[in-house]
Copies of this chain bind each other. A is one copy, B any other.
Amino acid sequence: MTTTVIEVPARTGKAVELRAGSAVKLINTRGSQVVDTWGFNRADLSEHMSMEHTRVMLGRVNPRVADNLFSNRRRPMLTLAEDTSPGVHDTLRAACDPVRYKMLGFDQHASCAENLVAALAALGLSAPHSPCPLNMFENCPVGADGALVVVPPPVKAGDYVVLRAVIDTIVVFSTCPMDVFPTNGADKTPKPVAYQVLPG
């Protein structure tokens, strides 16, 4: 069974419903694009993918292929089933939001935090709060002194990850609109990505 490839335009968000056992392939169509990613238990949105629980459960800052991504109730929610990129992802950084852009001098600027809200609203849903996302493809190494500096992602056009649902999960993707820092490449230009649901 072939399913449609759906584009997520630059600077926007999209929510995807995954049944347990099915998966979503997230394709970095043009390369260098960071995708803030959230997971919510379909039956109870107060259970969500949690970076601070995932780090403890994995004993590692960043997930690798075959790792589970855990919820705030320490349940496996998604599995990072495949990754053709160099495997650089971030679990440390809050989603960008209007306050951040205001501090950077922009009164009107798309943000991942707003994209999350809008993507869930398109399904008639709202999350009780805004969890820290898994920043797929974001390159923010931890310096020896603990410094965090975002540098361009080592991701080429066509690289993809596959997330498999362990439980019925709403996955939300946001193509990060950051154009002040090289979050989305040295050209500082947000780009679209695409996804495809893979039935279980």
Contact surface of A with B, Cβ cutoff 8 Å: 46, 50-53, 55-56, 59-62, 72-74, 92-94, 97, 99-100, 103, 128-130, 132, 142, 145-149
Bound complex: CA of A56 vs CA of B55, how far in Å?
Answer: 18
Q: State which of B51, B93, B129, B145 has its C-beta within 8 Å of the C-beta of A56.
A: B93
Which residues of the other chain, B, contact A148 by a CB distance below 8 angstroms? 55-56, 59-61
Which residues of the other chain, B, contact A74 by a CB distance below 8 angstroms? 97, 99-100, 103
A89 to chain B, nearest CB (A): 10
Residues B93 and A52 in contact, CB atoms below 8 Å apart: yes
Which residues of the other chain, B, contact A55 by a CB distance below 8 angstroms? 92-94, 148
Name the 6 nearest CB pairs between A and B, nearest first: A52-B94, A52-B132, A61-B146, A74-B99, A53-B94, A60-B146
Known: A56-B148, A128-B128, A128-B129. 16 other contacts (CB 8 A): A50-B94, A52-B92, A52-B94, A52-B132, A53-B94, A55-B92, A60-B146, A61-B92, A61-B142, A61-B148, A72-B94, A74-B99, A74-B100, A74-B103, A92-B92, A129-B129
Which residues of the other chain, B, contact A60 by a CB distance below 8 angstroms? 145-148
A86 to chain B, nearest CB (A): 13
Bound complex: CA of A85 vs CA of B73, how far in Å?
Answer: 33
- Closest chain B residue to A133, Cβ basis: B52
A63 to chain B, nearest CB (A): 10
Bound complex: CA of A147 vs CA of B60, how far in Å?
Answer: 4
A-B contact pairs, 13 of them (CB 8 A): A50-B94, A52-B92, A52-B132, A53-B94, A55-B94, A55-B148, A59-B148, A61-B146, A72-B130, A74-B103, A128-B128, A132-B132, A142-B142
